[in-house]
Structure 1
Amino acid sequence: MTTVTAWDDLPQLIDSEGGFVRWQLRELLPLTGTTKAMRRVVAGIQKQLAAQRIGHLPPALPCNGTAEILLYNQDKPNLGTALHLARQLAEGQTPENTSTNDQVKVLDKLLSMYRVRPSTSDNSTA
C-alpha cells in the first residue's frame, strides 16, 4: 500500500509508477480525513481527482473501500493518456475541436508501441 499525504502529491506518485497505478479505494481515504467510502466521500474523491487531472477506472468509483481502481495521469504522454482516450471513447466523450476519428488515431498511435506483430520469418525448409 502506497501512502500519499496530499492530493497535490498524487500526480507525481502516479508518474513515478509509469503513469498509472492500481489501488484499492481505501488508499485514497486518508486524503479525505475519513475511513469509510460513503457516497459523498467518494464523490469528493472524484472531484479531487478531476482537479488533479487524474482519471480513474471504473468511471464511477464504487462506495467500497476494498474495490480495485486504476488511477492514471490524463495529460502525460504515457499509457495513462491511452487509458484516458479509451475511456472517453467508451463514454462517447469528444473534447472540443476533436473528432472521434482523431481520438481513435491518437489512441492507435499511443498503443502501437505495445503491438506485437507475428514473425514474418519462415522457418520451414523447402
Structure 2
Amino acid sequence: MGEKKQVKSNPKCGIRLYNVPFGGKRGMKLTKLCPKKKASNKRGRLSASAKFHRSLVREIVGFAPFERRILELLKTDREKRAFKFAKARIGGHKRAKKKREEMQEVIIEMRK
C-alpha cells in the first residue's frame, strides 16, 4: 500500500557515541538527534501556488499606475529614468532594479 519515502539524512546523524571515559566521544552511549530544517531557510522562495496566484491577479487586475508609467518610460528607451521613478515609488535600489527588469520582460512578452 503506502511505501515509505527515503528521507535524505545528514551523515552525522545516527552516529553512536561509545561509553569511553576519555577522548572526543567520551560519555554515555547514545544516538545523535538530527535538527529539523528551519522554516526560515525557505524564506523568499516562490512556491508554485503563489506564482500561479500572482499571475492570475496580474491577469485580472492589470498593472498599478506607477507600473504603467515605468512601461511607458521603458518603451521610449529611458531606462535610467524608469529606474529612478521606480526607486522613488518603491523605496529601494534592489527592488527598483527588480521591478525594472520585470517590466522589461513584460514588454518583451507584449512584442511576441
TM-score band by shorter chain is under 0.3
TM-score of the aligned structures, taking structure 2 as reference length: 0.27
Q: Looking at both structures, which has the greater relative contact order when contacts are Cα pairs under 8 Å and sequence separation is at least 6?
A: 1
Q: Which has the higher helix share?
A: 2
Q: Which has the higher strand share?
A: 1
